[in-house]
Chain A
Amino acid sequence: MTMLGQPVADDLYRLVDGAVRLIAARPQDGGPLAFPFPQGSEADRYERILLPATGTLWSWTVQRFAPKAPYDGPADADFTPYGVAYVQLGDMLIVEGRVTGADLGALRIGQPMRVVTEAYARGAAGSPIETYAFAPIEEQP
């Protein structure tokens, strides 16, 4: 896995040994983990913790019409439906994200998924904008 473009935001994920690891927040005074890592004045109360690179599909749907702003991916004739899923990463957290590289009709709850990156949009100069996404892990026959 390599960088595909400019990340849509800082502090969302990190490449570690070729795997995409989401950055979660652990409150310094204990309490449940959260994703994404808070920005601004809240950040001081948390420490960064990397979530597992793989997990299982917890629930899914398909976004079949182009969202309104602030969505900045392909619209109108360029729009293609994309999957949206919650994926449980180990026993740590269930994270929501786009689905890429999948046959959307074949998704099933419980199937193994991995965290990847996806160039979901293009910036003003046509350069790709990247975010994290989930992709099915091909099961060995």
Chain B
Amino acid sequence: MTSVHIVGAGIHRFGRSPGMSALDQGVAACRSALVDAGLDWSQVQFGFGGSRDGGNADAVIARLGLTGVQFINVANGCATGGSALASAYWAIKSGEFDIGIVVGFDKHAKGSFNPDPERWGLPMWYGRTGLMLTTQFFGLKIQRYMALHGIDTTTLARVAEKAFRNGVDADHAWRREEIDLDTILHSTMVSDPLTKFMFCSPSEGAAAMIVMSDRKMRELGLAGPAIRSVAVRTRLPGSFEVFSPSLQVEQAPAPTVLASRAAFDMAGIGPEDVDVAQLQDTDCGAEIMHMAENGFCKDGEQVEWLAEGRTALGGALPVNTDGGCLACGEPIGASGLRQIYENVQQLRGRSGARQVADATLAYSQVYGAPGLSAVVILEASR
């Protein structure tokens, strides 16, 4: 059976890039991925890409060259990058193509997102009365989780402390300075129990990957991590999702639980086999809940895990080794591919001061509105 590899990874640094459009950043990421793979654009047979506020992803082809390449735009909220990679994986796995590019880029205005209720199939009053904010959902979800599972606010703050520490050593990160626990805990409260430094901010950036069949990879003498599994899942009735005017009393597992189980099954491995993980951390609560939803620990064990530094660099399972969304910000179209970029660098031993020793299996997960999750497991090819 065909296996699918990532033979090139490119990124345009996250944060603010005055004078560059989202498209400029996307094109830069594509070019650096091509250089990384040692390929010419004319060799690329297909592309998948996405952007929320940066225009149509297929606008990159006018800059890279009009080769007649097949290119499909992907829009899946915060899971856009993961969904684009999944689409490329299936395209190669099907045997239809050998060489593809995946790209995500974005550039958001400062401040919170202001979605249009009607685009989400929701009534206008939901937005008018001030209920349609992702930040509220993050506060509401972790508030209940903390009460049910005995998580304290210090544990929340430890997630941000770790993120900013990891960001210091990541060239592509936005925030490159450590912030101490006390400052995080006592920064402005935004949506209780989450303070300003416990949230990521909408930002700018781009990432791109070159994906290839194992056959073509050998033929061209290239190398790169194998995609062991990709799973994208949507919500069940009764799961607690963003932008929900009502919830069922009988609660169901989150879409992340479904995507994670499917990805582990497909790869034939378990959470204990993973060496490094990138988990969606739009806020500190999200990383904590995603540790359990992805099967790495039980509900409530996060207190011990964070206190002991098990998810820090040097710990048993380093999580968000480049500082995640908290340190990089969240350009929606690019964010999932930043996780993949970081895992590819880790598996190739190119992560410098933040390198996880002997990383062989790398895991990533993104969550998107209105309730979907994408998981990708990569394995180093040695």
Q: Which of B117-125, B224-232, B308-316, B369-377 contacts A (4 or more CB under 8 A)?
A: B117-125
**Quick check: A59 and B129 within 8 Å, CB to CB?**
no
Encoded as 1 (CB less than 8 Å from any B CB) or 0, chain A from 22 to 65 comes to 00100000001111100100000000000000000011111111
Q: Per a CB cutoff under 8 Å, which of A24, A33, A61, A88 touches B140? A: A61
Tell me if B350 counts as interface (CB < 8 A to partner A). Answer: no
Interface Cβ pair total, 8 Å cutoff: 121
Name A81-121 residues within 8 Å CB distance of B. Answer: 82, 84-86, 88, 91-98, 104, 109, 120-121
With known contacts A35-B245, A96-B246, A63–B124 Cβ distance under 8 A: no
The contact size tier of chain B is: 35 or more
Which among A24, A39, A63, A104 has the highest number of chain B CB atoms within 10 Å? Answer: A63
Q: Per a CB cutoff under 8 Å, which of A32, A60, A96, A97 touches B143? A: A60
Residues on B with beta carbons closer than 8 Å to the beta carbon of A137: none
A85 to B140 alpha-carbon distance, docked (Å): 7
Q: Per a CB cutoff under 8 Å, which of B116, B123, B189 touches A64? A: B189
A104 to B249 alpha-carbon distance, docked (Å): 24
Residues on A with beta carbons closer than 8 Å to the beta carbon of B116: 70
Residues on B with beta carbons closer than 8 Å to the beta carbon of A69: 114, 127
**Quick check: A61 and B192 within 8 Å, CB to CB?**
yes
With known contacts A9-B123, A61-B140, A61-B191, A67–B246 Cβ distance under 8 A: no
**Quick check: B190 and A71 within 8 Å, CB to CB?**
no
Closest-by-CB residue of B relative to A10 is B125
Encoded as 1 (CB less than 8 Å from any A CB) or 0, chain B from 120 to 152 comes to 000111011111110010011101100100000
4 new A-B contacts at CB < 8 Å, known A8-B128, A9-B125: A32-B248, A59-B143, A70-B117, A86-B247
Query: Ordered nearest first, which 5 A-B pairs have the shortest CB separation?
Result: A61-B139, A68-B114, A59-B144, A35-B246, A70-B127
